[in-house]
Structure 1
Amino acid sequence: MDVVSDALLWLNDPLNWTGRRGVLALAGEHLLISVAAVALAAVVALPIGIWLGHRRRGGAVTVVVANTSRALPTFALLTIFASAGLFGGSATTLAVAIFAVPPILTNAYTGVLEVDADVRDAARGMGMSAWTSLRRVELPLALPLIGAGLRTAAVQVVATVPLAAFVGGTSLGSLIASGLALQRYGEVLAGGVLVAGLCLAVEGVLAGAQHALTPRPMRRRAVRESA
């Protein structure tokens, strides 16, 4: 219980929330790295997943790429980048971006692939080109799964970014690293609680955004199916 009490005292100390090494500043760095990593992963994975799903081919390639990316330990990547002279936020962004690729790629591919063939045929029958059909029909229908992939990737990234502290980067993980180094375990627990809270906040915000962006007929269908 001493560690819990120390963590509560640490969290309730206003001095720990301000300044360059305060919670607010570290949380800002944490979110900045996370946004950059998810954006980088999305730029690479979304077009590939959407195009392969639209063409209804490349499933084996998608599985191999996704599984290979998942098999790469993020900490090992950080170590490799550090040994190559890449430290701090840049190393962390690249490492966690690789970690974020699998859910984005897999969900984009699956979301577009699972659009009903009759819907695709109807769009083409109305004179839509392949590009117009993808943009106006397939992507809106695939949006819930694509959004779920982005949401999963974002939460995973936020939970992994604390490793930045071990390659000279700054994030909420810096609290955990400094607490371990100085044997201030209340600070370690406080840092863990803050990271968990940030993950929950990101999950909630993105879940709300995904719900808002999902076409209303699909929302109604999901409610009926869950009833």
Structure 2
Amino acid sequence: MNDSYAQVLTWLADPANWAGPTGIIARTGIYLGHCLLTLAIASLIGIPLGLWVGHTGRLRAVMVPLTGALRSLPTLGFLSALSLTMGLGLGAPLVALTTLAVAPILAGTYAGVESVDHELVDASRAIGFTEWQILTRVEIPLAMPIVVSGLRSAAVQILATWTVAAYLPIEGLGRYLIDGLAMHDYTQMLAGSAIVIVLELAANALFGALEKASAAAVRR
């Protein structure tokens, strides 16, 4: 085994690196809290707006290029610009990373609703469904696999990008990368990166399972 990876395993196996307010357990808890808060706020913005755009077709010509533009924003540059305005602390990274996470959620939601067969929607109207009933009983259930796919993309992106916030400074797993770089402790950097990768793989697997379950429900 490569010496670097052996040193990472040794570092991870050391109980001293797991305990205390700067240990892996505490920092992982803080990191996941930040990530979940970001995903929740982005979902509260992106899902209702995506449902409205997908159902009504309004502002679609604006939303499609907007989501593309948001996806292309450089994370570090956007975060730095906000921190100059909002100062150090949780506010700037929360606003920046929430803004970036809205794009895949919004795109997945309106794409999912738009993918629903229009003949099915027209038939629902013909039998007397209200617009709200069409949205909640027809479009949302059928769109759910694509909606979950958007959430999956956002969750993986959030887990990856919250590490950047550590330079402000913000507590969390990103500290292992920033502090490790400052001290030339590359073992600590690799270990922190490994933990983030494991969390991303777990999130990807979880949302992948939800996506398959929702797709199976649609087929039934």
So what's the TM-score if we normalise by structure 2?
0.93
- Tell me the residue number matched to 2:195: 194
Whole-Å separation in 2 of the counterparts to 1:217 and 1:69: 30
SS state at 2:90 partner: helix
Report the aligned-residue RMSD.
Answer: 1.6
Query: 2:166 — aligned with what?
Result: 165
Letter in 2 for 1:175: Y
Residue 57 (structure 1) shift = 3.8
| CA distance in structure 2 between the aligned counterparts of 1:24 and 1:90, rounded to whole angstroms | 23
1:84 Cα deviation from its structure 2 partner: 2.0
Where in structure 2 are the equivalents of 1:27-42 lying within 5 Å?
A: 27-42=28-43
Instruction: Report the AA paired with residue 24 of structure 2.
Output: V
Per the alignment, residue 55 of structure 1 pairs with: 56
Q: Which moved more, 1:70-79 or 1:85-94?
A: 85-94
Q: How many residues align?
A: 219
Structure 1: tracts of 5 or more residues without a match = 221-227
Please name the residue that 2:116 is paired with. Answer: 115
**Quick one: distance in 2 between partners of 1:72 and 1:163?**
14
Distance 1:63 1:125 in 2: 30
Query: Displacement, 1:214?
Result: 4.4
Q: Deviations over 1:134-176 (max 9, x none)?
A: 1111110001000100111011100110011111111211111
In the superposition, relative to structure 1, how do residues 94 and 180 fare at CA in structure 2: closer, same or farther (>3 Å)?
A: same
1:217 offset after TM fit, Å? 4.2
Q: Percent identity of the aligned residues? A: 37
Mapped partners of 2:78, 2:86: distance in 1: 12
Q: Aligned partners of 1:142 and 1:186: how far apart in 2? A: 44
Aligned mates of 1:174, 1:12 — CA distance in 2: 19
- For residue 196 of structure 1, report the CA deviation from its aligned partner: 0.5
Q: Match of 1:67?
A: 68
Unmatched segments (≥5 aa) in structure 2 = none
1:70-109 superposed matches below 5 A: 70-109=71-110
Q: Give the Cα separation in 2 of the matches to 1:13 and 1:143.
A: 43
Contact 2:142 2:218 (C-alpha < 8 Å) held by counterparts? no
C-alpha separation in 2, matches of 1:16 and 1:205: 27
Q: Secondary structure at the match of 1:88?
A: coil
What is the CA-CA distance between 1:207 and the residue it aligns to? 2.0
Cα distance in structure 2, aligned partners of 1:215 and 1:201? 21
For 2:172, what is the secondary structure of its paired residue? coil
Task: Tell me, yes or no, if the aligned pair for 1:81 and 1:87 is still in contact at 8 Å.
Answer: no
1:171-204 Cα distance to aligned partner (Å, 9 max, x none): 2111111111111111111111111011001111
Pairwise CA distance, 1:59: 2.5
In the alignment, what sits opposite 2:209? 208
**Match of 1:87, SS?**
coil
1:224 corresponds to? none
1:85 & 1:47 partners in 2: Cα distance?
A: 27
CA distance in 2, matches of 1:138, 1:99: 26
Give the TM-score of the pair, scaled to structure 1.
0.91
For 2:4 and 2:84, locate their aligned partners in 1 and report how far apart those are by CA, in whole Å.
35
Aligned to 1:223: none
